[in-house]
Chains A and B, each alone.
Chain A
Amino acid sequence: MNERSNSGKVVADEAVLFKQRLGIVLCVIYAFAYTGFVVISVYDVTLMDTVMPFGLNLAAFYGLGLIVFALFLAMIYSIACTTKEISVARNSKKTEDGGLK
């Protein structure tokens, strides 16, 4: 949405926008997973006894999974944001170089 602009600030804003959108999407994904745990616990807690891989019950599998999933999403977020920042900085530099010519 900011491509039409060639100012460095707008390019930087593009990175901010990307990071915030990505953050909200990842947060919503995680919130669904978290809500799933709460819903099962409230409406059919005996389902948590289900035996899962490694002999874990669903409660432990899901609970530990939520912790690992949070770290996984955080790493994705961090890598994606860093990549975007590098890309934006590169574009910004090109824009400035173009302006100098």
Chain B
Amino acid sequence: MTAIIIFVGFVVFLFWLSYFIGKKTKTESGFFVAGGQIHWFINGIALTGGYLSAASFLGICGMIAFKGFDGFLYSIGFLSGWVVALFVVAEPMRRLGKYTFADALESRFKSRTIHLAAGISTLVISMCYLVPQMVGAGVLIEPLLGIPYHWGVILVGLVVIVIVASARMSSTTYVQFIKAGMLITFSSLLVGAVLMRGVDTMPENVNVRGEFADRPLLRTMPFDIEKMMDENFYEAGFDIVESFGEWVLVQEHSADNKSWWKLETGSGNDISFLRETQNITRTSKGDFFVNGAPADRDNILYAMGRISQFGERTGHSGTKGPVGPLRFLSILADPGTLFEIPVISTVNHQDSEVTLFYHKTVPGNVMMRPGGHFNITGRSRWGRLNFISLMLALFFGTAALPHVLIRYYTVKDATAARRSTVVAIGSIGLFYILTLFLGLGAVANGVLNPLSDNMSAPLLARSFGEVLFAIVTALAFATVLGTVSGLIVAASGAVSNDLMDKFFRRKMVGTTKVIAAKTTAITVGILSVILGILFRGVNVGFLVGLAFAVAASANFPAIIMVLFWKHTTSKGIIASILVGTFTSMGIILMGPEMFEIYGYSKADAWIPLGQPAIIAMPLSFITLIVVSLITKKVEKTGEPLSPLANV
């Protein structure tokens, strides 16, 4: 109940803030860029608020908890992208157009078609970024209010549409300023609490809502290869009901309860130990059972994850107690430290589909190094390419995101824009460092929901009490609101400025343009709600990474070349944006990760590469150069936007 009261209070506060500040500006520039009168420090923190999306808070923490250091790669990449944004793009872009990326291009080229291309890319990137925010919202609201996932997504969609359509950029700037400040403050408090508690091998038993659950941790038992399998189980208190492959269905001597166990092999092919699982069974009639009993509000899965052993190198006693931040990381990276990470398998048993959840043991040094998720150590060529491609997308994508660029215009001059970005790098960097501790803290405290990694950080907060959980959940919700509202404003600008006004030449005065923008806001909001429902269960950090890949492929080449290459032509820009957009989207839609989402095997994917930037970004650059060279004789290229282009 505490969580619901704080949550509702927060939403009401945001509505009030949007209404109060929104009343002050009535003009078109007020809607889009707050009249350029936002103070640079506030703008810098607001940049942080707009940038720290559900992906950062829910997705990255969850990915770190489940995939270790590979999740932190997103933190490093998301932050590193700001270096490109600040050092190369921020100030020249600020000296240019009015509201959008396309306006900046137009200041060099007077081309209607550029607005069409830029409008399309902005819409596509905004949608790619919006979907994971909606997924995050649904995941968050489901346990908080006890309502189904899709209602959570719809609720967030409605709130954001009302905020954006009724208020202005000015309001979203202040909403994001407050949200970012509170998010960093409470994340720091949560990390402080994790470090004060320390780490041991016996976290509290909780279910996937974070409520106390009276049940032992999932057990492991040694397997005596001198004895038959049924003897091994009998001595442990079980009778074998059935076994096939690596799975054994057993019944306890003392109860009717049946459970599934996994046979784990050691370094040879011999069975070395037995691992207990928990399961969800769906019968052919469509009934669901959790761990043998009918699924209902009280019978849900237990939370998973823990550290089962601490290494000797760091000399950790294995008991709870305060530990410093660097020592915390050192203990967890010890090769002798063993993480227990949730894994899912599905088997068909009789007429039912059984989804089994069990732990996989991962040594600390493997957990705390990059590449495991990409199978780099397995010498996978596509894994390496995916890894490099992701790092490219994160590095170059930030500067090309539409909702980041638009904030360069909300301060009065280029100097203020630069200062804003420095403030943003400082606060975003601090937050991303915290994500490492939050993700690792979640697995060490055994609060992982094996069905959705996105809830790791809020469930970690719940292990410290209802109040902290309530505040963190409300902040995560505000994170979604802030990011979604910023994205919808960017998408609205793209439609009303680039498509309606500049491309279709529907001459609109300020008020009409605002109406067009609000209509777009509602349309984009509804579309993102529908897609958010369809993408349930996918890690939001991964989805946002794809938005970065599209931005790096579609917009980044155009931005860089228009700034620094004097032979760039409008046709080159248009071709580059369209090639980058459609190539990156094509690779994503035909890649292994999306095939898994469609319900097929990754191996069935038409393209073995899931991350598109390594192909789409160079292709976009090449297209721009070739088309510009071909068309430069018939087209006036205009003045390059950077004086360096002429040096």
Residues of A that sit less than 8 Å from B by CB: 1, 13, 16-17, 19-24, 26-27, 30-31, 34, 37-38, 41-42, 45-46, 48-49, 54-57, 59-60, 63-64, 66-68, 70-71, 73-75, 77-78, 81-82, 85
Contacts and interface: CB of A to CB of B under 8 A. Distances in A.
Interface string B396-435: 0000000000000000000100110110011001001100
Which residue among A27, A30, A42, A56 has the maximum number of chain B CB atoms within 10 Å of its CB?
A: A42
Contact of A56 (B76, B333, B335, B642): B333
Given A77-B87, A77-B418, 12 more contacts: A17-B644, A45-B377, A48-B370, A55-B314, A55-B327, A55-B329, A60-B333, A63-B72, A64-B436, A67-B429, A67-B432, A68-B429
Interface stretch (B78-86, B342-350, B511-519): B78-86
A73 B384 contact: no
A70 B83 contact: yes
A30 B83 contact: yes
B118 to A, nearest CB: 23
28 contacts: A20-B643, A20-B644, A23-B91, A27-B83, A27-B87, A31-B83, A31-B395, A38-B388, A41-B370, A42-B387, A45-B371, A48-B369, A54-B327, A55-B327, A55-B329, A57-B365, A59-B368, A60-B333, A60-B436, A63-B69, A63-B75, A67-B80, A67-B429, A70-B80, A70-B429, A73-B83, A74-B83, A74-B421
A64 B88 CA distance: 23
Contacts of A27: 83-84, 87-88
Interface in B528-545: none
A56 B83 contact: no
Contacts of A59: 69, 333, 368-370
A24 B87 CA distance: 6
Interface string B304-341: 00000000001000000000001101100101000000
B107 to A, nearest CB: 15
Does more than half of chain A's interface fall in helix, strand or loop, or is it mixed?
Answer: helix
A19 B643 CA distance: 11
A74 B88 contact: no
Given A56-B329, A67-B433, A30 B80 contact: yes
Interface of B: 69, 72-73, 75-76, 79-80, 82-84, 86-88, 91-92, 314, 326-327, 329-330, 333, 335, 365, 368-371, 376-377, 384, 387-388, 391, 395, 415, 418-419, 421-422, 425-426, 429, 432-433, 436, 642-644, 647
A41 B376 contact: yes
B40 to A, nearest CB: 11
A2 B647 CA distance: 12
Contacts of A64: 433, 436
B371 A41 contact: yes
A41 B387 contact: yes
A22 B90 CA distance: 13
In the complex, which of the residues A13, A19, A68 has the most CB atoms of chain B within 10 Å of its own CB atom?
Answer: A19
Given A41-B387, A60-B333, A17 B425 contact: no
A20 B333 contact: no
Identify whether the interface residues of B are mostly helix, strand, loop, or mixed: helix
A20 B92 contact: yes
A55 B330 contact: yes
B82 A70 contact: yes
B627 to A, nearest CB: 25
B369 A49 contact: yes
B179 to A, nearest CB: 21
A17 B643 contact: yes
A60 B327 CA distance: 12
Nearest to B643: A17
Contacts of B330: 54-57
Contacts of B642: 20
A84 to B, nearest CB: 11
Contact of B418 (A45, A49, A81): A81
B425 A74 contact: yes
Contacts of B377: 45-46
B511 to A, nearest CB: 36
Given A19-B91, A45-B376, A64-B433, A77 B86 contact: yes
Given A20-B644, A27-B87, A41-B376, A85 B415 contact: yes
Contacts of B425: 70-71, 74
Residue of B87, B426, B433 most packed against chain A (CB within 10 A): B87
A47 B376 CA distance: 13
B415 A67 contact: no
A56 B370 contact: no
B88 A24 contact: yes
A56 B642 CA distance: 42
A87 B84 CA distance: 26
A21 B432 contact: no
Nearest to A75: B422
Contacts of B388: 38, 42
A49 B334 CA distance: 9
Nearest to B77: A34
Contacts of B79: 66-67, 70
